Amino acid sequence: MPAPPARFGLAATLRLGLFQGCLGCLAVVFAGLMNRVMISELGFPALLVGSALAFEQFVAPARVLFGQLSDARPIGGRHRLPYIWLGSLLFSGLAVLSVPLIFHVGRLLDSASPWQLAGGVAGLCGLFALYGLAVSMASTPYLALVIDRTCEEERSRAVGIIWCLLTVGIVVGAIATAIALRGLDGVTDPGLLEPALLRFMGRVALTVLVITLVATAGMEAPRSGRSGQRLQRAEGRDDAITLRQAWALMTSSRQVLVFFVFLVLFTLGLFLQDPVLESYGAEVFAMPIAATASLNALWGSGTLAGLLFAGLWVVPRLGKLATARLGCQLIAGTLMALLLCGFTAQVTLLKLVMVLFGVAAGIGTNSALVLMLDLTLPEAAGTFVGVWGLAQALSRALGKVFGGGLLDLGRWLSARVGLADQPFPAFALVLAVEVVVALAALVALGRVNLRQFREDTGRSLTKVLALELG
């Protein structure tokens, strides 16, 4: 790849960040709205909803493939933008197609034969998998484009701004959903819900696609694939590391496994309640559909504040590991508060706790991102970032499956003890397990050793490269 420019200004960073913001906006509309409609309005089993949505994350290993394709297979002389644009077109279209398919499966739940229902569920899972592949196709070359366009000194600032814009996109998506769907409060008739949601999703997808095209246009100039590969070899970039070498490097240090486990538990501790949160607001707090969508806006606003607070004040003063420990502790505490406020069923208290949970998530996420950068060798950056990204995607998928499954288990247990008419105990089970997971992440974090990681992987990188050279 060509050498990055000497300066990558704030305006260009903000433009690139708009794509991440658009991705966050569509993600919160797509997942949040689908969770609420499928569980509370259409009566889908929560385990089915979580499992279907998890297919978006189960295809995450394809990120490695799309990254390699964008490196080796330029389209029209460009390595990144064609994949970003094609992926954006596909995930926008699939988001719109999901609405009629979801309502079709909802009708099959009531009257179809088992074989027809199985076909509908398979189609739903397949659509979410294709959506995840499209997101991977767009987002992996996008991150590579950020690396291409920034030098090492600019990269941390660019990543911070882009991550904040992702959170802003989540907030905007949640607010837009809440405003647009106010007219559907109290509406449960699928015949009225489907066309309204289809129009709304169509407008969101079109807006996201247009902004993505405008934001990324001109961000990559056409270039020769061969010249880019020659320069890549000359600079000794990590893309030259083979799969066998990468595996040897990943298994060279126990610290890689320790940090991988921490990332899985940390992300699971943030998102286990994600597939049931809006239903929690609907069934326990009697919130209408537009109001439950605003919960994500509150969570996102708190996360943005936590990211900025941690980056500007907490991490510089406490350090990365201490801030990560504080983040895990705050996440566990606010999750416990989220559980306890269900006893009161007070909407105001729920909203306050969601903001505090967001702040805790922002502090923990900022420190986890900084640790990810520290636990990465410059000579093998892509390899390590890919592994850390896989850990996060895996835990997001597990969160969707286990979150929905725990809710179904809680409902079954409630029915067994004569509490079937009380929704809170089932949601309390989900949140209680999530508290335990957050505390487990804290224990795993205590075993992370930055110095040992650098020593072990540094020696192993030299060794595997020497063995490859014979």
Instruction: With H, G, I as helix, E, B as strand and everything else as coil, classify residue 446.
Output: coil
Q: Which range is least confidently modeled, 115-129, 247-261, 432-446?
A: 247-261
pLDDT tens per residue across span 218-238: 888 776 544 444 334 434 444
pLDDT confidence band for 435 (50 / 70 / 90): very high
Question: Which of residues 444 and 449 earns the better pLDDT score?
Answer: 444
- 442 Cα distance to chain centroid: 21
Report the sign of the C-alpha dihedral through residues 289, 401, 167, 298, in that order: positive
CA–CA separation, 54 and 402 (whole Å): 10
Q: What is the rounded average pLDDT of the residues 322-347? A: 94
pLDDT confidence band for 109 (50 / 70 / 90): confident
Closest CA to 371 of 263, 215, 253, 226: 263
pLDDT at 365: 86
CA–CA separation, 360 and 270 (whole Å): 10
Are 298 and 351 within 8 A, CB to CB? Answer: yes
Question: Which of residues 53 and 94 earns the better pLDDT score?
Answer: 94
pLDDT at 8: 60
pLDDT tens per residue across span 244-287: 555 666 666 788 888 889 999 999 999 898 888 888 998 999 88
User: In the structure encoding, which two tokens stand for residue 76, read together?
Assistant: 């029209």
CA–CA separation, 263 and 256 (whole Å): 11
Checking if the pLDDT of 75 tops 90, the result is no
Q: Which range is least confidently modeled, 66-70, 242-246, 317-321?
A: 242-246
Share of the chain above pLDDT 90, in %: 25
- 80 Cα distance to chain centroid: 21
Contacts of residue 207, defined as CB under 8 A and 6 or more positions apart, other chains included, come to: none
Checking if the pLDDT of 355 tops 50, the result is yes
Checking if the pLDDT of 337 tops 80, the result is yes
Ordered by start, the domain boundaries in the chain are 7-217, 242-462
Checking if the pLDDT of 403 tops 80, the result is yes
pLDDT at 460: 63
pLDDT tens per residue across span 20-56: 888 888 887 877 777 667 777 777 887 787 778 778 8
pLDDT confidence band for 469 (50 / 70 / 90): very low
* Superfamily of structural domain 242-462: MFS general substrate transporter like domains (1.20.1250.20)
pLDDT at 381: 53
Checking if the pLDDT of 468 tops 50, the result is no
pLDDT at 248: 64
How does DSSP assign 258-319, residue by residue?
A: HHHHHHHHHHHHHHTTGGGHHHHHHHTS---HHHHHHHHHHHHHHHHHHHHHIIIIIHHHH-
Amino acid at 251: T
Q: What is the rounded average pLDDT of the residues 358-384? A: 75
Identify the residue whose tokens are 């906006």: 25
Is CATH 2.60.40.1760 correct for 7-217? no
Q: Check: pTM over 0.75? Answer yes or no.
A: no
Q: What is the rounded average pLDDT of the residues 348-369? A: 91
Within this chain, domains 7-217 and 242-462 share the same CATH topology = yes
Q: What is the rounded average pLDDT of the residues 353-372? A: 88
pLDDT confidence band for 1 (50 / 70 / 90): very low
Q: What is the rounded average pLDDT of the residues 370-396? A: 68
Are 13 and 216 within 8 A, CB to CB? Answer: no
User: In the structure encoding, which two tokens stand for residue 273, read together?
Assistant: 């309640």
pLDDT tens per residue across span 281-312: 989 998 887 788 778 778 888 888 888 788 77
pLDDT tens per residue across span 169-225: 877 887 887 777 776 666 667 788 888 888 988 998 999 999 999 888 888 877 654
Question: Which of residues 358 and 39 earns the better pLDDT score?
Answer: 358
- Average pLDDT over the chain reads 80
